[in-house]
């Protein structure tokens, strides 16, 4: 079952594009990890997914009963 769908998500800060056209699907029983260098946008993308931050363009949809837990470092 599809839990989260992101399509063409774009985010920029002060005119600098952090990432653009990021698309993904998360299905039940998936195990997900974000890997990349510092400043690549891993935490920003996660904050967008959990609703703590807005994105510039694209579409993000979550299943009606989806709840995401988050524990900051």
Given a cut of 80, is residue 26 above it in pLDDT? yes
CB 50 within 8 Å of CB 71: no
Q: Give the CATH number for residue 12.
A: 3.40.50.300
Q: Check residue 60 and give its pLDDT.
A: 97
Q: Is residue 70 assigned to a domain? A: no
Given a cut of 80, is residue 25 above it in pLDDT? yes
Domains held by the chain: number: 1
Q: Is residue 46 assigned to a domain? A: yes
Q: Is residue 45 assigned to a domain? A: yes
Q: Is residue 41 assigned to a domain? A: yes
Q: Is residue 7 assigned to a domain? A: yes
Beta bridge partners of 61: 5
Give the mean model confidence (pLDDT) for residues 50-73: 92
Q: Check residue 38 and give its pLDDT.
A: 93
Q: Which domain holds residue 27?
A: 2-62
Q: Is residue 37 assigned to a domain? A: yes
Given a cut of 90, is residue 69 above it in pLDDT? no
Total-model pTM: 0.89
Q: Is residue 32 assigned to a domain? A: yes
Q: Check residue 72 and give its pLDDT.
A: 80
Round to the nearest angstrom and report the end-to-end CA distance of the chain.
Answer: 29
């Amino acid at each position: 079952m599809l839990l989260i769908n992101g399509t063409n998500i774009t985010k920029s800060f002060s005119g600098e594009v952090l990432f653009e056209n990021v698309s993904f699907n998360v299905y039940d029983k998936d195990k997900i990890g974000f890997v990349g260098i510092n400043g690549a946008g891993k935490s920003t993308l996660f904050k967008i997914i959990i609703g703590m931050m807005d994105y510039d363009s694209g579409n993000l949809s979550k299943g009606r009963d989806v709840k995401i837990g988050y524990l900051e470092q």
